[in-house]
Amino acid sequence: MSPADALSQPALWPLSAIVFLPAIVAAVLALPIIPRAREELIRWITLATTAVVFLLSLWMAWPAVFGAQGPAQFTIGEAGMQLVVSKPWIPAFSIEYLLGVDGISMPLVVLTTFLSLLACAASWPITKHVKAYHVLFLLLETGMLGVFVSLDFFLFYVFWEVMLLPMYFLIGIWGGPRREYAAIKFFLYTLLGSVLMLLAILMLYFTSDLRMLSPEQLEAAHVVSPALEAAARADAVAAIKTAAEPIHTFNLLALAELGQLPNSPFAAAQVWGVSLEVLAFLLLLIGFVIKVPVVPVHTWLPDAHVEAPTPISMILAGVLLKLGGYGIIRICYPVCPGGGLTLAWLVCGLGVVSMVYGAFAALAQTDFKRMVAYSSVSHMGYVMLGLGVWSAVAGNEFRWDAWGQGVNGAMFQMLAHGFSSAGMFFMVGVLYDRVHHRNLNEFGGIFNRMPVYAALAVAIFFAGLGLPGLCGFIGEVLVTLSAWNYSRTLAAISAFTVILTAGYILWAIQRVYLGAEYKGPHGEALTPITRRELAIATPLVFLAILFGVAPQLLFNYVTPSVNRQVETLAEWTREVRPDFPASPAIETVEAGVTRALAGE
């Protein structure tokens, strides 16, 4: 790579370092340079790596903290794709090393690096095969970060799959008693989803044709780098426009532009009588909802979460579930908007079913960790509902200002759930490390024995409950409000679910933390929280409160990008479905969100 590339693509090295530094350190650790017995050293090296990656991502995402804005740093409030890195990879298939972030992916990147840092710190009690554990952990981090920053579908898929194997071993070797079953189940479900995704990717690729895009669209999609000289850009555009054969692409931005054309090739193509955009939407959706997960493909989650060691549960709940939501928001809707419009009822329905089912299932659990796992199913249901109302057209009313609200709410819910669920799993882990059981009915009286821990834990659980003033509330209320415009029934059910959520969380708090005294096994091991544990729990609790009282901190990132996408799709809907009744002006998306925020 020449210096000129570094100048025209300032994010090349920082963004690549965020993604690949963990993998490089993992490779070095895997070599027999550091002896296996130096466990403490391996732990510190891994912690330092995750810390460096976290600081790097923070430097990128929040320039204000680090002084003046640099060219490789994120501009808050800008809606479009930023810090784009583009390098040819496999020219024969026009596969590119194409990275970039926007307001949707940047917060998720920081969430990932942050939770990886905390999870690495939470890995200190791991004593079995320490070296292998940390190598796999770092590989996992590379996979997760790669998914969030890839803008090339092939690259996205590669990173998506890279996560599977480390996760399989992390659950299968360091997990609980039923770890083998849980590990293979996780692998199998996800692989099934990703094979379907691969089929959709190939179908979209071979249907795509870059020649249909205008020069402006080609530049916006970074097919032709906007950093080039005007003459070089014109040449590149001309080369595409005059090609004799269709030029296929894996570029996600270009696929989205193609999918939103009035004469979209995906809408025109038919497979077995179904238009490709509906079929591809469905295939991709199945691949993503398995990860989210929604009922009925959620059954891998309770097993995987329960059997996984505490740090891996934190990563699973905090980051891996978000990959599904991210995929839906980044790929499903923009690339196949027609499919989204047709199948809105499916997405919303799945969301509400998971919400209710997850909450009832959580109520029925006696295993503390399993209860938290089901609460994740329930909470991710809000994400699905929020994303689903995006494309919703209820009855004779076309209220797309509500879409923006729903998607913003879903995004916020994903981030908030990242903090609160990771925190809840960590809190369960702290107890499990001491008393080696998780039976809700054998706890009680923890408040007396571990007061500091119990206070932090209750705060995190309240955040999960969605108490106003804590981070869980904002997303839920935005989603519920937006769903009202789509279907009153669904909105009522999702509002009703909050009661169930309060039910299982309060009941769990009562059974675990309250009560006179601890009567379960290993009572003598209930020592106060250690400094390491405190250092992990405190930031999570702090952020849960901070984002609860100042959600703008996140909305400043999220809203511009989300609104832009919603507005584009609203225009698209207006073009392809002129029969829809008149709808509010576009400016009101912002207003709708502001109204909702002010109303809380």
Residues that bind another protein (CB under 8 A): 30, 32, 36, 89-93, 132, 157-158, 161-162, 164-165, 168-169, 172-173, 179-180, 184, 187-188, 191-192, 195-196, 198-199, 202-203, 205-207, 245, 269, 271-272
Residue that is written with structure tokens 């080696």 in the block: 436
Query: Residue 198 Cβ, how far from another protein at the closest point, in Å?
Result: 7
* Nearer residue to another protein within complex by CB, 179 or 438: 179
CA-wise closest residue to 551 among 481, 476, 499, 500? 476
Show the tokens assigned to 173: 């070797």
Q: Could you report how far apart the first and last alpha carbons of the chain are, in Å?
A: 51
Minimum CB distance to another protein, residue 325 (Å): 22
Q: Which is nearer to another protein, 104 or 240 (CB)?
A: 240
Nearer to another protein, 140 or 430 (CB): 140
Taking a C-beta distance cutoff of 8 angstroms, is the pair 98, 138 a contact? no
Query: Least distance in Å: CB of 280 to another protein?
Result: 12
Min dist. Cβ of residue 43 to another protein (A) = 19
The whole-angstrom separation of Cα 139 and Cα 29 is 11
Ramachandran sector of residue 206 (left: φ over 0; alpha: ψ -120 to 50; beta: rest): alpha
Nearer to another protein, 120 or 283 (CB): 283
CB of 448 to another protein, least distance (A): 40
Smallest separation (angstroms) from another protein to the CB of 80: 29
Look at residues 305, 254, 287, 290 and name the one whose alpha carbon lies nearest to residue 86.
254
Nearer CB in complex with another protein: 147/596: 147
Our CB check for another protein shows the closer of 203 and 597 to be: 203
CB of 397 to another protein, least distance (A): 39
CB 110 to another protein: min, Å: 25
Judged by CB, which is closer to another protein: 90, or 492?
90
CB 421 within 8 A of CB 372: yes
Helices first, then strands: H and E counts in the chain: 28, 4
Identify the CA nearest to 239 among candidates 277, 205, 279, 211: 211
Q: Which residue, 451, 445, 462, is CA-closest to 514?
A: 445
Contacts of 245 (CB under 8 A, 6+ apart): none
For 82, 126, 372, 380, the CA distances from 317, given in Å and listed in that order, are: 28, 19, 10, 10
- Token pair, residue 236, equals 């590149």
Nearer to another protein, 172 or 551 (CB): 172
Q: Is the dihedral of CA 259, 260, 265, 271 positive or negative?
A: positive
Spatial separation of the C-alpha atoms in residues 573 and 583, rounded to whole Å: 11
Count of alpha carbons within 13 angstroms of residue 169, beta-carbon side: 16
How far apart are CB 161 and another protein at their closest, in Å? 5
Nearer to another protein, 178 or 595 (CB): 178
Instruction: Quote the least distance from Cβ 24 to another protein, whole Å.
Output: 14
Spatial contact of 249 and 210, defined as CB atoms under 8 Å apart: yes
Q: How many C-beta neighbours within 10 Å does residue 113 have?
A: 26
For another protein, the closer CB: 180 or 587: 180
